Structure 1
Amino acid sequence: MDLRKRSSSAASTPDKVFLEACDIYFRHCHNKPYGFFNAELFQQQAAKNQVPLHLRLALIATATRYSSRSQWRERKQSTIDSYARCSWELIVTSPNGFDDDDVTVIQALALLAVIDATAGRRRGAWVKIGMAVRISQDLQLMLEPGSGFSNMERDERRHLFWSLYLLDRFVGCSFQRPPAIQDSDCRLNLPTPHYSRNLVPYTTLKGLLDERNRDLSMRPGMFGISIALASVLGRTIKCMMNEADKIEAPWHLESAYRAICTDLEFLKELAVSNSPVLAAPGQARPPHEMQDRDREQIAHMVLSHTLYHLSHCILSHPYLLGLKMQSLSRSDMPPTWLEDTRATCLMHAGSVITVLVEAKAAGYMPVPSVYSYCILVASTIHALYLHSDDMAVGQSSAEYLKTSLEYLGEVSELWTYAQTMASALRSFAVQCGRYSDLLLRDEPLVDELTTTESAVLCSVIDYWAMMDPHNPVFDVAQPRTDGPLDLLDVGPGYLTPPTPGAVGAIPLEAAMSHSPGHKTSDLVDPDILIHYPVSIMSPMASEEGGSPAWDWDSELNAMID
């Protein structure tokens, strides 16, 4: 089949396969968190069959993951990969694929990058993200759109660029993987919520993070706050994982470490003040009456809280702190600074797990694949405390690990590499007796770690490394031991489902994170309690009593012919 000879508008009406794929995509993926499209503009183009073939193929490949159609349940990944390969071939072989002044190639590349990343094709994902970023810069998406674009086109370009920014920051959660987009180049306004577009002014990323203008009355919306937190996460990665030659004592007020902490606390407070308005008891709308904008707000609300806690986990991770402190004089370090910082780190690790697990238990299935990485990072911190002298702390950490393994096992139905992370977590946990002994003492002994042990500790906090099936963490697993690790025997069961009367509530608190025996830092208030109605995010159900709408043996030919 020569895709290059096929026209994107050969038929007068769009095919049923593509339209159903659109329904699935906009239900499960759009603005959760990536908003690659303006929904209204895209629907208009789809109805007129004006969506080019490379983008249709990429969107079907993406939507396939979330469909429950029985015809291809056993060959879901191969179906996804087939569509993705066809889309990629069209892009790279088109004589003018990179010359057209439209954004469809960027949109397709972004979708294909996510597919590659979650399938373990790391270099393919890296290349596609890089291409998408460079093309977006060539089209000047990092600048405010001109008056020649319609309102919907301006909205789409703004959301597309910032979604690329999120994707770029997420895959950059790694050692020696610099981001392709620099904050200083982003002069584009942040996306403003549809419901307040005419009520609040636009703001830029620089304006939102300007320490001279900290105003909690700002209303950038949850998407904008997520972007700002992703920016701070990028600075956290640079500070703790990619600046070995630039050593600043993190307890100094002028250090990058303290500046990041300050920004995180401001953005947390801003996220709380911008979160969806709470419904009065008994007045919450049932899930089927929720608007798309409500679901998208919830998606970014969950993302913003997750990024806040993840940044703190990386900022104060015992291994990364140990690396930093190797070359620092501790003569002026406050007496309780290290103890308080470790307690704060453990608290935030519990909060990451609590936010995502409770969101899922309330009926919201956290879709972004990056959440598996967030759970892993948090769980490795709890793994280090399995052997704590405080039995209550060790028991609490073991329970967190069990919950994390259940979560990863369940989302592996969507993201197969989540199971790889679960295996890595199990392998890591059985080695943590030695790591804990070296890292959790008053004088961390990082230099006593072997090369292999250092590689393992790096790999479990490196998103890029965890996409690699040859991760070193799998090669050094030790025999099982007795003790708290017995709690890691997790079966294929599910996390606690929502009770019938509470399906509309999503408590995002850190109640589980107050570990006995640890102090709470005055800088951090992890208690974020938000109740908001959410919809069940289960896959689109098959039609009962009728033939499935998608014929997965002939749909590709039917779409193109």
Structure 2
Amino acid sequence: MAISTSNNYIDPRQRSASTASSSDTVFQEACEIYFRHCHNKPYGFFHADLFHQKAARNQIPLHLRLALIATATRYSSCSQWRDRKQSTIDGYARCSWELIVSSQDGLDGSDDMTTIQSLALLAVIDATAGRRRGAWVKIGMAVRISQDLQLMLEPSSHLPAWERDERRNLFWSLYLLDRFVCCSFQRPPAIKDTDCLLNLPSYGDSGKRERALTLKGLLLKGGARDTSVQPGMFGISIALVSVLGRTIRYMMNAENDTEKPWRSGSEYQRIYRDLEYLKVLAVNNSPASTNRAQQPRTRSQMQDCDRERVAHMVLAHTLYHLAHCILSHPYLLGLKMRSAGSAHAPRGWLKDSRAVCVVHAGALITVLVEAKAAGYMPLPSVYSYCILVAGTIQALHLASDDAPLSQSSAGYLKASLDYLGDISELWTNAHVMVNALKLFSHQCTRYSTLLLRDHPLVDELTPTETAICRSVLDYWAMMDPQTPAFAFDHHPQHNHQQDKPANSKADADVDLELLDSSDRQSSLSPSTPDSAGVITLGVAMPQMPVSEHKGLYDAVVSDPDPDPDILIQWPVSPMSPLLVEDESSPRWDWDSELNAMID
């Protein structure tokens, strides 16, 4: 099959037997790679069995075939095109997009969901390559088409079960994508929670019979909550993303809100309670907790469904910690205190909130780094953003008078930089984030001096410093390779050496080479997993001081192991796309395949 470059129209008559056979081989390998590395990790755009059946009957439209090939390219280890991976991805993605907007297989009267699936895949490609407006447009189109097909409503009971599952999972995956790209200042999501009237995805990953719940039903406001419900890890991830969206709106997009966050009944307190409730559900629904009676399995015994369960488990815990990091980030708290007024804040509330924040930042970094060390590479690009946010929190404490805290922060910062450096082979925007974290770290003492005070002095940040503080919290800004943060001097004039404590454990301008030296040991040293490939999602955090103020946070702040319930073990099969290629696997001739499709 070929695409005419003059009018972007598919001409079936140009399909030769040799071209068809070769293209089918490429697509089959792409499917194998996609469903191993991407499917339900976390986006469940397809019903796997149905997709394979349609593929076998040659019923997958070309725009979706091309979008899937473009997505799978990122995870293939074929060496002959490794240095031009992004150009290969972009070539397939461009052809897919042109088909969608110009052919009858795309927008013109199509009543199936393949256009939404293609647009979602292409949006991820655009966003991570720095084409932000293209990604924004594609997500918007996918949302509108999904609404046109009424995917936000519970599917008719007359539809087959597999079709109902696919519709639910596709919509909720689109919801995830929409919320992730809106982790930003002044960038509202396209899907409103109040419009989501369908049940949460029923993935069957809890090991028990899952209860059909809507998002609203799971997060009912007020009253005692049932911690025995089994919505499954996918459903819990959706609920956590919903609460994360509320956190973004409250902390990053309501700077003039005069509500006092320390008061009972505030949105701040409601968000906190929702997060803790969902954490309990995540623990109760985790695949490890529901399979404790089973014998641990080896890597060779792992199935794709096991990897998908682990993917949603990792996502749920990561989102839980990310929401807490944003809820209590020192810079955002400074903005909130400025607008709400801190004169009547309870004694120690701000100190306790910051202490909780650094604990969650360390736990977030540990979850992702240990998962990676155990052979499971957390693949979604949004994890790079999560690591960046947590890394900035740790950087703020490098100059702490508390020597153990300063040392642990240095270890976490090094782990964050290492993770972003490794993942940058997969995601272009990880390059942006690792540079942004280094830049922020160079100036961390300046930020600490202004932000870690009893009364944060956010107004004394220069416009450049304000832009940096905002950009490292803004996923949308971190998608831009030309983000203004890179125009900033890595050695600002505002060192404020006189404000640095005499026994500070870090210089005003952090020497990042020091973090790489062997004499500065990280408190987070991922070990090689055992023969079963066990992953332990937990960390022994440094002891944090307990404030005289006894409030909502004391249990977390005083507990050296704040997340004992995620010290769970689950065998994970190695999935890293960075492994050397298997000589027995088919090789893709990317140049000839793509040329055959566009000639």
TM-score (norm 2): 0.88
Amino acid at match of 1:552: W
Tell me what 1:257 maps to: 268
Amino acid at match of 2:61: P
Tell me if the contact between 2:27 and 2:65 (Cα under 8 Å) persists in the aligned partners: yes
Shift of 1:150: 1.8
- CA separation in 2, counterparts of 1:90 and 1:245? 45
- CA separation in 2, counterparts of 1:320 and 1:123? 26
Tell me if the contact between 2:442 and 2:511 (Cα under 8 Å) persists in the aligned partners: no
Deviations 1:183-213 (A, max 9, x none): 0000011111236799333111111111346
Q: CA RMSD in A?
A: 2.6
- CA separation in 2, counterparts of 1:197 and 1:547? 34
- Relative to structure 2, which stretch is displaced further, 471-480 or 375-384? 471-480
Shift of 1:331: 4.0
Tell me if the contact between 1:8 and 1:53 (Cα under 8 Å) persists in the aligned partners: no
Tell me if the contact between 2:42 and 2:311 (Cα under 8 Å) persists in the aligned partners: yes
Shift of 1:521: 2.6
- CA separation in 2, counterparts of 1:8 and 1:223? 44
- CA separation in 2, counterparts of 1:413 and 1:8? 40
1:486 aligns with 2:523: no
Tell me what 2:535 maps to: 506
Cα separation, partners in 2 of 1:368 and 1:316, compared to 1, 3 Å: same
Tell me if the contact between 1:8 and 1:50 (Cα under 8 Å) persists in the aligned partners: no
Amino acid at match of 2:131: R
- CA separation in 1, counterparts of 2:224 and 2:151? 26
Tell me what 2:553 maps to: 521
Counterpart selection for 2:573 from 535, 545, 550: 535
Shift of 1:450: 1.5
Amino acid at match of 1:471: T
Tell me if the contact between 1:69 and 1:548 (Cα under 8 Å) persists in the aligned partners: no
SS at match of 1:372: helix
Cα separation, partners in 2 of 1:151 and 1:492, compared to 1, 3 Å: farther
Amino acid at match of 2:487: D
SS at match of 1:326: helix
Amino acid at match of 1:551: D
1:27 aligns with 2:59: no
Tell me what 2:100 maps to: 91
Tell me what 2:559 maps to: none
Amino acid at match of 2:169: H
- CA separation in 1, counterparts of 2:413 and 2:65? 40
Amino acid at match of 1:154: R
Tell me if the contact between 2:106 and 2:115 (Cα under 8 Å) persists in the aligned partners: yes
SS at match of 2:83: helix
1:422 aligns with 2:454: no
Tell me what 2:251 maps to: 240
Tell me what 1:291 maps to: 303
Tell me if the contact between 1:361 and 1:496 (Cα under 8 Å) persists in the aligned partners: no
Amino acid at match of 1:514: P
- CA separation in 1, counterparts of 2:443 and 2:13? 54
Counterpart selection for 1:140 from 135, 150, 168: 150
Tell me if the contact between 2:374 and 2:529 (Cα under 8 Å) persists in the aligned partners: no
- Unaligned residue ranges in structure 2 (runs of 5+): 496-504, 519-523, 557-561
- CA separation in 2, counterparts of 1:168 and 1:18? 27
1:67 aligns with 2:76: yes
Shift of 1:483: 3.9
- Relative to structure 2, which stretch is displaced further, 250-259 or 513-522? 513-522
- Relative to structure 2, which stretch is displaced further, 407-416 or 320-329? 320-329
Q: How does 1:541-560 map to 2 (within 5 A)?
A: 542-544=581-583, 548-557=586-595
Shift of 1:247: 2.1
- CA separation in 1, counterparts of 2:485 and 2:173? 31
Tell me what 1:399 maps to: 411
Cα separation, partners in 2 of 1:269 and 1:549, compared to 1, 3 Å: same
- CA separation in 1, counterparts of 2:252 and 2:390? 16
SS at match of 2:318: helix
Tell me what 2:478 maps to: 466
Tell me what 1:150 maps to: 160
Tell me if the contact between 2:298 and 2:531 (Cα under 8 Å) persists in the aligned partners: no
- Relative to structure 2, which stretch is displaced further, 185-194 or 37-46? 185-194
- Relative to structure 2, which stretch is displaced further, 384-393 or 116-125? 384-393
Counterpart selection for 1:454 from 466, 481, 486: 466
Deviations 1:227-285 (A, max 9, x none): 00000000000000111232211101110000000000000010000001356699311
Shift of 1:534: 0.8
Tell me if the contact between 2:206 and 2:285 (Cα under 8 Å) persists in the aligned partners: no
Amino acid at match of 1:535: S
- CA separation in 1, counterparts of 2:152 and 2:280? 27
- Relative to structure 2, which stretch is displaced further, 477-486 or 533-542? 477-486
Amino acid at match of 1:276: P
SS at match of 1:251: coil
Tell me what 2:498 maps to: none
Task: State the aligned residue count.
Answer: 559
Tell me if the contact between 2:363 and 2:538 (Cα under 8 Å) persists in the aligned partners: yes
- CA separation in 1, counterparts of 2:595 and 2:166? 30
- CA separation in 2, counterparts of 1:419 and 1:406? 12
- CA separation in 2, counterparts of 1:433 and 1:499? 34
Deviations 1:337-386 (A, max 9, x none): 11110100011111110110011111110000000000000011111111
Shift of 1:9: 12
- CA separation in 2, counterparts of 1:488 and 1:151? 56
- CA separation in 2, counterparts of 1:329 and 1:426? 32
Shift of 1:436: 0.7
- CA separation in 2, counterparts of 1:548 and 1:496? 37
1:57 aligns with 2:95: no
Tell me if the contact between 1:426 and 1:488 (Cα under 8 Å) persists in the aligned partners: no
